[in-house]
Structure 1
Amino acid sequence: HEELYGPIPPSRNSWQSRFTAPMDYAGLPTISLPCGLNSENLPLSLQFVGHHLSEQLLILAGHTFEQATDFHNLHPPV
């Protein structure tokens, strides 16, 4: 991979990138969706990972998940 794209820069959010970087480096499409709140009322999300060039399927999966749940309608109090 480094031969094509150069060295991988260190991440400032390494605890977050551990969930996304492997798919980014492998060229796999992903979609992240809200899926609720934890016990401290903080948002949770899930990530679907698809095969190469399966973006259309991921968008359909995300849309189907949102239609079956109401997590995407949750908003923090202002």
Structure 2
Amino acid sequence: MEITLTINGTDITFKPNKLAYNSYINDITMNDKIAPATNFLRRIVTPEHKEPLNEILDNHAGASLQIVEKVIKQFAPDLEIEIKN
């Protein structure tokens, strides 16, 4: 699966996979959310988009959390779950 986002006018393509996603989820802690999000994005970005992604991540506070939210929403959409009694 490829996910292309336009971020501040620049197209950046990601190729998320289950292993990278699971590692990201496992790395998140109460005190550390930014580094796992940044590492996840850098692992899944396509090689030709690494430099533009790094520029965005380095120059915009909170960018990794905003971007990772969009990627995950596409890669792992919410399930429809109902409780039956």
Instruction: Give the structure with higher Rg (CA).
Output: 1
User: Highest relative contact order (Cα 8 Å, sep 6+), 1 or 2?
Assistant: 2
**TM-score normalized by the length of structure 1:** 0.29
**TM-score normalized by the length of structure 2:** 0.27
- The structure where strand makes up a greater share of residues is 1
- The structure where helix makes up a greater share of residues is 2
